[in-house]
Amino acid sequence: MSYGQARDGYLTANGIKLHYLDWGGAGSPIVIVHATGFLAEIYAPIARALCAIGHVFGYDQRGHGDSDPAPHGEYNWPATVADLRGFIEAMGFEGVRGFGHSAGATALAAVSASNPGLVSRAVLVDPIVHDADDLAELRSRGRALVAGTLKRRRVFDSVEHAIRHLGSKPPFDTWDKAILRDYCEYGTRARSDGGRELKCDPTVEAKLYAASGEFDGLSLMLRSQTPFLVVFTKQAHEFRPAALKRIRGQLKYGRILDLADANHLLPMERPAEVARVTLEFLS
C-alpha cells in the first residue's frame, strides 16, 4: 500500500503552536523528529514507508517549518526536549515508537530517559551526543557551523531558484532530488515581492548549534531503558569518537548500526535504506 500527502494539524505545547503532519497508517503511533534547521515534510519517504507498521506523525520544532517561533527567542536543547514531550502528551500518546535524526534523535533519547513510558522503541540516526573528551572538537565544529549557517542565503527568487542554488553545493548536492525539492518548497514561504525565504531563520539554527555542547544527551541515552537502534555515520567517528566508544561499551538496550561510509544527512541521501532499517527495528 502506498500513502500520499499528509494532513496538517496544529496543537499547543509549552505555550507554542506546533504544526504537525499526519501521514496515516494503521497501528500504534510513530513520531518522527527532524534535525535542526529542517522540518517534518522532508522525511516524507521514510514516513510513508513506516505507515505499513503504524500511524505516523511528524511535527515542526519551534521556529521551524510552520510552527510558531519561540516568543522570547528561547532556542536551546532543553526546550527542544520539552517540546517533544509536550507534543507526545498533547496528542494523548504513550509508548510511541520514534524516529529521530541528529538533534531530533538526541531529543528522543532524552525524553525516553526522563519520561519512562512515553517512548517504547526508537531509531536514532546520528544523535548529537558527546563525551567530555569530544568537547574541544565539538566546540570547534560548532563555531564553524554557526559561522557557516549565519552566512547562508535566506531569500530566493523562486522554488526553482532555491533548488538550483542549494543543489549545486554541499551538503544539498548529494540529496535525493525529490527531498531537495520538498525542502525548497515546504521549507520556504512566499514573500510579498514574489520571492521565497527560508522558514527556519538561520539565526535560530545557529543558536541551537552554539548550545549543543551544553547538553549532556549522552548520559541520558545511556540511562534510558528504551530499546534503541543507534545509527552512526562517518561524522560520529570524526567529531564524537569518545561518545561512540562509550555507547559501544555501555548501551544496554538495543543495538548499533555503524555506517562509516555514510554522511550525517543520510536520511536525505539514502531514504530508502533508512526506511528499510527503521521498519525492521520498529516492527
Query: What is the number of helices (H) and of strands (E) in the chain?
Result: 12, 11
* Tens-digit pLDDT profile for residues 124-150: 999 999 999 998 888 888 888 899 999
Name the grid cell of 122. 526508537
Please tell me the distance from the alpha carbon of residue 243 to that of residue 183, in angstroms, as a whole number.
31
Q: What is the pLDDT of residue 45?
A: 98
Q: Is residue 209 part of a domain?
A: no
Question: For 94, which DSSP code?
Answer: -
* Tens-digit pLDDT profile for residues 232-273: 999 999 999 999 999 999 999 999 999 999 999 999 999 999
| Contact call for residues 266 and 35 (beta carbons, < 8 A) | no
The angle subtended at Cα 69 by Cα 105 and Cα 108, nearest 5°, is: 15
Q: Is residue 154 part of a domain?
A: no
Q: Is residue 60 part of a domain?
A: yes
Q: Is residue 66 part of a domain?
A: yes
Q: Is residue 90 part of a domain?
A: yes
Q: Is residue 153 part of a domain?
A: no
Q: Which domain holds residue 77?
A: 7-132+216-282
* Tens-digit pLDDT profile for residues 147-201: 999 999 999 999 999 999 999 999 999 999 999 999 999 999 999 999 999 999 9
143/97: higher pLDDT: 97
Q: Is residue 206 part of a domain?
A: no
Q: Is residue 82 part of a domain?
A: yes
Q: Supply the CATH number for residue 222's domain.
A: 3.40.50.1820
Q: In the chain, what percentage of residues exceed pLDDT 90? A: 92
The tally of domains found in the chain comes to 1
